[in-house]
Amino acid sequence: MLLYQPDGGYCYNSDSILLYGFISRFAPRGKMLDVGAGCGIVGLLVGRDFPAVNLEAVEKQPLYAEFARRNAQINGIGYTLHEGDFLELGGHGSYDWIVSNPPFYHEGSARSENPILHQARYNVHLPIEAFVTKISKLLKSSGEAAICYDARQFAQLCSAFESRGLRVVEVQFVHSKVDRPSILVLIHVKRNSKAALTVLPPLITEENGQYTPAVQAIYDKAKAHSIKCPII
């Protein structure tokens, strides 16, 4: 898959690729919303691999919305993109699936002064409570969500989901190396579920300076090729 991205702007990273691999395990179908689509990578990869998905996306920044539209067109994937704020999106109880690699850095993290990068990275633009509340409103009664987030905010995220009738049913912590703390967590959520939480084996991304076989397999499956181009 060819993915055009703005040169000098926010570009997708391993978080999006790993989230795609996590979502793929569930063979999703039905109406799906990709929140904070960026250049479109997560939703478009899922839409390519799972034709039973009816794909929509929402992106707040006009620059990235345009890249997402073009990437969908170039790759021949059916795509409805809502340009605007996720928190203002209509469609109560509409979606079977919501997927997202949202801005999750807190304000105490190293700060980018670039306003485009700041919106894409920092959760002041999409706070946890507001993010989860909106997900709960948009999911169908048996809906599911899959997101990635800062592992250090996992407890806060679980509390927010549980208080809104959404059960965290499966998680996988991602570590850069086997002896390093987790900095990313992949989370699978279901509405109206009574399932116990399953904690998957940790996903280690690097070993001896290379991707581990598990992570390399996800990249090989994604077959995503980034092309940087001037801001349009």
115-168 residue pLDDT tens: 444 444 455 557 899 999 999 999 999 999 999 999 999 999 999 999 999 999
Q: Does the pTM exceed 0.85?
A: yes
Distances, alpha carbon 180 to alpha carbons 18, 69, 177, 199, 213, in Å = 18, 38, 5, 18, 18
pLDDT in the model for residue 218: 98
- DSSP reduced 3-state for 94: coil
Residue with tokens 């169908």: 140
CA angle 133, 59, 149 (to 5 degrees): 55
Distances, alpha carbon 144 to alpha carbons 108, 138, 169, 189, in Å = 31, 10, 10, 6
56-103 residue pLDDT tens: 999 999 999 999 999 999 999 999 999 999 999 998 889 999 999 997
Label residues 75-92 b or e (16+ Cβ within 10 Å = b).
bebebebbbeebeebeee
pLDDT in the model for residue 117: 46
Residue 78 is encoded by which pair of tokens? 């059916």
In the chain, pLDDT over 90 holds for what percent of residues?
Answer: 82
Domains of the chain with bracketed CATH: 2-229 (3.40.50.150)
| Structural Rg of the chain based on CA atoms | 17
pLDDT in the model for residue 147: 98
DSSP secondary structure of 107-167: TTSPPP--HHHHHHHBGGGS-HHHHHHHHHHHEEEEEEEEEEEEGGGHHHHHHHHHTTTEE
